Amino acid sequence: MSAPRILAALVTGTVFGFGLTLAGVLDPATIRNFLDFFGAFDPRLGFVFAGALLLSAGGYLVSRRFREPALGGGFAIPAGRPIDAPLVMGAALFGIGWGMVGLCPGPAIAGLALGLPQVFIFTVSMLIGIAAHDLWRARQTTAEAVAPS
Amino acid sequence: MPWPAYFQSFLGGAVIGLAAAMLLLLNGRVAGVIGAVGEVVEGVLGRVGREFFERAAFVIGLLIGPFVFLAAFGALPDVTVTSSLPVLVAGGLLVGFGTRLSKGCTAGHGVCGLARLSPRSIVAVATFFGAAIVTVFVMEHVI
Protein backbone atom coordinates (compact mmCIF):
# COMPACT_ATOMS: atom_id res chain seq x y z
CA MET A 1 0.00 0.00 0.00
CA SER A 2 1.53 3.27 -1.11
CA ALA A 3 0.10 6.71 -1.76
CA PRO A 4 1.29 6.97 -5.40
CA ARG A 5 -0.31 3.59 -6.24
CA ILE A 6 -3.58 4.56 -4.57
CA LEU A 7 -3.58 7.90 -6.41
CA ALA A 8 -2.82 6.14 -9.72
CA ALA A 9 -5.73 3.74 -9.12
CA LEU A 10 -8.03 6.68 -8.30
CA VAL A 11 -7.06 8.57 -11.47
CA THR A 12 -7.32 5.40 -13.58
CA GLY A 13 -10.77 4.65 -12.20
CA THR A 14 -11.85 8.21 -12.97
CA VAL A 15 -10.60 7.95 -16.58
CA PHE A 16 -12.41 4.60 -16.86
CA GLY A 17 -15.67 6.08 -15.52
CA PHE A 18 -15.36 9.07 -17.86
CA GLY A 19 -14.82 6.69 -20.80
CA LEU A 20 -17.90 4.63 -19.89
CA THR A 21 -19.99 7.82 -19.81
CA LEU A 22 -18.61 9.11 -23.14
CA ALA A 23 -19.06 5.69 -24.77
CA GLY A 24 -22.78 5.70 -23.99
CA VAL A 25 -22.73 2.41 -22.07
CA LEU A 26 -24.33 3.85 -18.93
CA ASP A 27 -27.54 3.52 -20.96
CA PRO A 28 -28.75 -0.11 -20.81
CA ALA A 29 -30.49 0.42 -24.16
CA THR A 30 -27.06 0.74 -25.86
CA ILE A 31 -26.17 -2.75 -24.62
CA ARG A 32 -29.52 -4.46 -25.16
CA ASN A 33 -29.94 -3.00 -28.67
CA PHE A 34 -26.47 -4.22 -29.64
CA LEU A 35 -27.42 -7.72 -28.46
CA ASP A 36 -30.74 -7.63 -30.32
CA PHE A 37 -29.78 -8.75 -33.83
CA PHE A 38 -33.41 -9.41 -34.72
CA GLY A 39 -34.74 -6.06 -33.53
CA ALA A 40 -33.41 -2.55 -32.99
CA PHE A 41 -29.76 -3.45 -33.67
CA ASP A 42 -27.39 -0.65 -32.63
CA PRO A 43 -23.68 -1.26 -33.48
CA ARG A 44 -22.26 1.28 -30.99
CA LEU A 45 -21.06 -1.28 -28.42
CA GLY A 46 -18.89 -2.75 -31.19
CA PHE A 47 -17.20 0.64 -31.64
CA VAL A 48 -16.70 0.88 -27.87
CA PHE A 49 -14.94 -2.49 -27.81
CA ALA A 50 -12.86 -1.62 -30.89
CA GLY A 51 -11.53 1.55 -29.23
CA ALA A 52 -11.01 -0.14 -25.87
CA LEU A 53 -9.19 -3.19 -27.26
CA LEU A 54 -6.92 -1.04 -29.42
CA LEU A 55 -5.60 0.97 -26.46
CA SER A 56 -5.66 -1.95 -24.02
CA ALA A 57 -3.66 -4.16 -26.40
CA GLY A 58 -1.23 -1.28 -27.00
CA GLY A 59 -0.72 -0.92 -23.26
CA TYR A 60 -0.18 -4.65 -22.87
CA LEU A 61 2.43 -4.75 -25.66
CA VAL A 62 4.28 -1.79 -24.12
CA SER A 63 4.15 -3.43 -20.65
CA ARG A 64 5.94 -6.51 -21.99
CA ARG A 65 9.03 -4.37 -22.62
CA PHE A 66 9.34 -3.66 -18.88
CA ARG A 67 10.22 -5.89 -15.93
CA GLU A 68 8.40 -3.66 -13.45
CA PRO A 69 5.44 -1.30 -13.70
CA ALA A 70 6.25 2.39 -13.17
CA LEU A 71 5.17 2.33 -9.50
CA GLY A 72 6.69 -1.08 -8.69
CA GLY A 73 4.99 -4.07 -7.13
CA GLY A 74 5.46 -6.34 -10.15
CA PHE A 75 3.01 -7.24 -12.89
CA ALA A 76 0.08 -9.34 -11.66
CA ILE A 77 -1.45 -10.74 -14.82
CA PRO A 78 -3.64 -13.84 -14.46
CA ALA A 79 -2.08 -16.69 -16.42
CA GLY A 80 -1.95 -20.45 -16.46
CA ARG A 81 -5.43 -21.07 -15.06
CA PRO A 82 -7.34 -23.76 -16.93
CA ILE A 83 -10.62 -23.24 -18.77
CA ASP A 84 -12.90 -24.81 -16.14
CA ALA A 85 -16.57 -25.18 -15.28
CA PRO A 86 -16.72 -22.13 -12.94
CA LEU A 87 -15.41 -19.93 -15.76
CA VAL A 88 -18.07 -21.07 -18.23
CA MET A 89 -20.90 -21.28 -15.65
CA GLY A 90 -20.07 -17.85 -14.24
CA ALA A 91 -19.84 -16.26 -17.68
CA ALA A 92 -23.18 -17.82 -18.66
CA LEU A 93 -24.92 -16.51 -15.50
CA PHE A 94 -23.35 -13.09 -16.06
CA GLY A 95 -24.50 -13.08 -19.69
CA ILE A 96 -28.10 -13.83 -18.69
CA GLY A 97 -28.13 -10.97 -16.15
CA TRP A 98 -26.36 -8.63 -18.60
CA GLY A 99 -28.91 -9.40 -21.30
CA MET A 100 -31.85 -9.02 -18.91
CA VAL A 101 -31.00 -5.48 -17.78
CA GLY A 102 -28.18 -4.22 -20.03
CA LEU A 103 -25.78 -3.31 -17.22
CA CYS A 104 -22.41 -4.87 -16.36
CA PRO A 105 -20.29 -4.05 -13.27
CA GLY A 106 -18.51 -0.93 -14.62
CA PRO A 107 -21.64 0.91 -15.78
CA ALA A 108 -23.48 -0.34 -12.66
CA ILE A 109 -21.00 1.52 -10.43
CA ALA A 110 -20.42 4.59 -12.63
CA GLY A 111 -24.14 4.76 -13.44
CA LEU A 112 -24.92 5.45 -9.77
CA ALA A 113 -23.93 9.03 -10.66
CA LEU A 114 -27.12 9.30 -12.74
CA GLY A 115 -29.18 9.14 -9.55
CA LEU A 116 -31.70 6.68 -11.00
CA PRO A 117 -33.40 4.38 -8.47
CA GLN A 118 -33.38 1.48 -10.98
CA VAL A 119 -29.57 1.61 -11.29
CA PHE A 120 -29.28 1.76 -7.50
CA ILE A 121 -31.49 -1.34 -7.09
CA PHE A 122 -29.47 -3.20 -9.75
CA THR A 123 -26.11 -2.27 -8.21
CA VAL A 124 -27.16 -3.19 -4.66
CA SER A 125 -28.42 -6.56 -6.01
CA MET A 126 -25.07 -7.01 -7.77
CA LEU A 127 -23.20 -6.36 -4.50
CA ILE A 128 -25.42 -8.94 -2.77
CA GLY A 129 -24.62 -11.37 -5.61
CA ILE A 130 -20.89 -10.80 -5.06
CA ALA A 131 -21.22 -11.28 -1.28
CA ALA A 132 -23.33 -14.44 -1.79
CA HIS A 133 -20.67 -15.91 -4.09
CA ASP A 134 -17.79 -15.02 -1.78
CA LEU A 135 -19.51 -16.36 1.36
CA TRP A 136 -20.41 -19.56 -0.50
CA ARG A 137 -16.82 -20.00 -1.70
CA ALA A 138 -15.45 -19.33 1.79
CA ARG A 139 -17.79 -21.98 3.26
CA GLN A 140 -16.83 -24.44 0.55
CA THR A 141 -13.12 -23.90 1.19
CA THR A 142 -13.62 -24.36 4.94
CA ALA A 143 -15.63 -27.57 4.37
CA GLU A 144 -12.87 -28.92 2.12
CA ALA A 145 -10.24 -28.11 4.75
CA VAL A 146 -12.22 -29.92 7.46
CA ALA A 147 -13.10 -33.00 5.40
CA PRO A 148 -10.62 -33.44 2.56
CA SER A 149 -12.07 -35.67 -0.13
CA MET B 1 -27.66 6.07 -36.09
CA PRO B 2 -25.34 8.83 -37.33
CA TRP B 3 -21.58 8.43 -37.69
CA PRO B 4 -20.74 11.05 -35.03
CA ALA B 5 -22.44 8.78 -32.47
CA TYR B 6 -20.30 5.85 -33.64
CA PHE B 7 -17.18 7.99 -33.37
CA GLN B 8 -18.14 9.12 -29.87
CA SER B 9 -18.56 5.50 -28.79
CA PHE B 10 -15.19 4.59 -30.35
CA LEU B 11 -13.59 7.52 -28.52
CA GLY B 12 -15.26 6.51 -25.22
CA GLY B 13 -13.98 2.98 -25.75
CA ALA B 14 -10.48 4.31 -26.41
CA VAL B 15 -10.61 6.21 -23.10
CA ILE B 16 -11.63 2.97 -21.34
CA GLY B 17 -8.70 1.21 -23.04
CA LEU B 18 -6.41 4.06 -22.01
CA ALA B 19 -7.45 3.52 -18.38
CA ALA B 20 -6.68 -0.20 -18.70
CA ALA B 21 -3.24 0.62 -20.18
CA MET B 22 -2.57 3.18 -17.43
CA LEU B 23 -3.35 0.79 -14.57
CA LEU B 24 -1.17 -1.90 -16.17
CA LEU B 25 1.80 0.37 -16.86
CA LEU B 26 1.62 2.28 -13.56
CA ASN B 27 0.51 -0.34 -11.00
CA GLY B 28 0.98 -3.56 -12.97
CA ARG B 29 -2.63 -4.53 -12.39
CA VAL B 30 -5.47 -5.64 -14.67
CA ALA B 31 -8.31 -3.09 -14.77
CA GLY B 32 -11.00 -5.53 -13.73
CA VAL B 33 -14.06 -3.82 -12.33
CA ILE B 34 -15.58 -6.88 -10.63
CA GLY B 35 -12.22 -7.75 -9.08
CA ALA B 36 -12.00 -4.27 -7.56
CA VAL B 37 -15.65 -4.16 -6.45
CA GLY B 38 -15.29 -7.69 -5.06
CA GLU B 39 -12.24 -6.61 -3.04
CA VAL B 40 -14.33 -3.81 -1.52
CA VAL B 41 -17.16 -6.25 -0.70
CA GLU B 42 -14.58 -8.60 0.86
CA GLY B 43 -13.35 -5.70 2.97
CA VAL B 44 -16.89 -4.97 4.15
CA LEU B 45 -17.24 -8.67 5.03
CA GLY B 46 -14.21 -8.28 7.28
CA ARG B 47 -11.48 -9.64 5.01
CA VAL B 48 -9.42 -6.57 4.16
CA GLY B 49 -6.97 -7.62 1.45
CA ARG B 50 -3.44 -6.34 0.89
CA GLU B 51 -4.53 -4.13 -2.02
CA PHE B 52 -7.86 -3.03 -0.53
CA PHE B 53 -7.12 0.71 -0.66
CA GLU B 54 -5.87 0.59 -4.26
CA ARG B 55 -8.92 -1.33 -5.40
CA ALA B 56 -11.29 0.90 -3.41
CA ALA B 57 -9.63 4.00 -4.95
CA PHE B 58 -10.29 2.57 -8.43
CA VAL B 59 -13.98 2.03 -7.57
CA ILE B 60 -14.28 5.57 -6.16
CA GLY B 61 -12.71 6.82 -9.41
CA LEU B 62 -15.40 4.99 -11.41
CA LEU B 63 -17.96 7.02 -9.47
CA ILE B 64 -16.08 10.30 -10.03
CA GLY B 65 -15.71 9.73 -13.80
CA PRO B 66 -19.28 10.69 -14.74
CA PHE B 67 -18.98 13.90 -12.71
CA VAL B 68 -15.86 14.86 -14.70
CA PHE B 69 -17.99 14.26 -17.81
CA LEU B 70 -20.71 16.48 -16.30
CA ALA B 71 -18.17 19.22 -15.55
CA ALA B 72 -16.74 19.01 -19.08
CA PHE B 73 -19.96 18.82 -21.11
CA GLY B 74 -22.55 20.35 -18.78
CA ALA B 75 -24.89 17.35 -18.70
CA LEU B 76 -24.91 13.64 -18.04
CA PRO B 77 -26.26 11.27 -20.72
CA ASP B 78 -30.04 11.02 -20.78
CA VAL B 79 -30.73 7.48 -19.56
CA THR B 80 -34.04 5.70 -19.03
CA VAL B 81 -34.09 2.26 -17.41
CA THR B 82 -37.27 0.38 -18.29
CA SER B 83 -36.60 -2.93 -16.47
CA SER B 84 -39.12 -3.95 -13.80
CA LEU B 85 -38.12 -4.43 -10.16
CA PRO B 86 -37.88 -8.26 -10.27
CA VAL B 87 -35.78 -8.08 -13.46
CA LEU B 88 -33.43 -5.50 -11.90
CA VAL B 89 -32.95 -7.62 -8.76
CA ALA B 90 -32.52 -10.94 -10.62
CA GLY B 91 -30.20 -9.32 -13.19
CA GLY B 92 -28.06 -7.71 -10.50
CA LEU B 93 -27.75 -10.95 -8.51
CA LEU B 94 -26.78 -12.90 -11.66
CA VAL B 95 -24.22 -10.29 -12.75
CA GLY B 96 -22.61 -10.14 -9.29
CA PHE B 97 -22.53 -13.89 -8.70
CA GLY B 98 -21.59 -14.80 -12.27
CA THR B 99 -18.73 -12.36 -12.73
CA ARG B 100 -17.24 -13.40 -9.36
CA LEU B 101 -17.50 -17.08 -10.32
CA SER B 102 -15.82 -16.52 -13.71
CA LYS B 103 -13.33 -14.08 -12.12
CA GLY B 104 -13.97 -11.27 -14.57
CA CYS B 105 -16.53 -9.11 -16.32
CA THR B 106 -16.72 -7.06 -19.51
CA ALA B 107 -13.66 -5.14 -18.28
CA GLY B 108 -11.39 -7.91 -16.93
CA HIS B 109 -12.20 -10.60 -19.49
CA GLY B 110 -13.45 -8.27 -22.24
CA VAL B 111 -11.23 -5.19 -22.41
CA CYS B 112 -8.12 -6.60 -20.66
CA GLY B 113 -8.20 -10.36 -21.27
CA LEU B 114 -9.12 -10.22 -24.96
CA ALA B 115 -6.41 -7.61 -25.57
CA ARG B 116 -3.73 -10.12 -24.54
CA LEU B 117 -5.58 -13.04 -26.22
CA SER B 118 -6.04 -14.96 -22.96
CA PRO B 119 -7.74 -18.29 -23.81
CA ARG B 120 -9.84 -18.11 -20.60
CA SER B 121 -11.04 -14.63 -21.50
CA ILE B 122 -11.89 -15.61 -25.08
CA VAL B 123 -14.06 -18.45 -23.73
CA ALA B 124 -15.64 -16.17 -21.10
CA VAL B 125 -16.44 -13.39 -23.61
CA ALA B 126 -17.91 -15.85 -26.15
CA THR B 127 -20.02 -17.40 -23.36
CA PHE B 128 -21.38 -14.18 -21.86
CA PHE B 129 -22.10 -12.63 -25.26
CA GLY B 130 -23.84 -15.83 -26.36
CA ALA B 131 -25.91 -16.03 -23.17
CA ALA B 132 -26.80 -12.33 -23.38
CA ILE B 133 -27.87 -12.54 -27.04
CA VAL B 134 -30.12 -15.54 -26.29
CA THR B 135 -31.56 -13.75 -23.23
CA VAL B 136 -32.40 -10.59 -25.19
CA PHE B 137 -33.88 -12.68 -28.02
CA VAL B 138 -36.12 -14.59 -25.63
CA MET B 139 -37.22 -11.45 -23.76
CA GLU B 140 -37.86 -9.33 -26.87
CA HIS B 141 -39.14 -11.83 -29.40
CA VAL B 142 -40.41 -14.94 -27.58
CA ILE B 143 -42.02 -13.92 -24.29
Q: What is the ipTM of this complex?
A: 0.96
Chain B from 10 to 29: CB within 8 A of any A CB: 10-29
Query: How many Å lie between the alpha carbon of B46 and the closest alpha carbon of chain A?
Result: 11
**DSSP secondary structure string for all residues of B85-140:** HHHHHHHHHHHHHHHHHTT--IIIIIIIIGGGT-HHHHHHHHHHHHHHHHHHHIII
| Residue spans per domain, chain A | 3-146
Cβ–Cβ gap A116/B79 under 8 Å: yes
pLDDT (tens digit per residue) in A43-85: 999 999 999 999 999 999 999 999 999 999 999 988 888 999 9
- To probe the interface with B, which of A1, A15, A89, A137 has the most B CB atoms within 10 Å? A15
CB contact under 8 A, B38 and A125: no
Say how far apart CA B70 and CA A113 lie, in whole Å: 10
Distance from CA of A65 to the nearest CA of B (A): 10
Is the CB of B16 less than 8 angstroms away from the CB of A111? Answer: no
Per-residue b or e along A100-110, where b marks 16 or more CB atoms closer than 10 Å to that residue's CB: bbbbbbbbbbb
- Measured between alpha carbons, how far is residue A135 from residues A48, A116, B42 in Å? 34, 29, 9
Q: What is the pTM of this model?
A: 0.95
Q: Dump pLDDT digits (tens) for B94-138.
A: 999 999 999 999 999 999 999 999 999 999 999 999 999 999 999
- With 0-12 / 13-18 / 19 or more C-beta atoms within 10 angstroms meaning exposed / middle / buried, residue A75 is middle
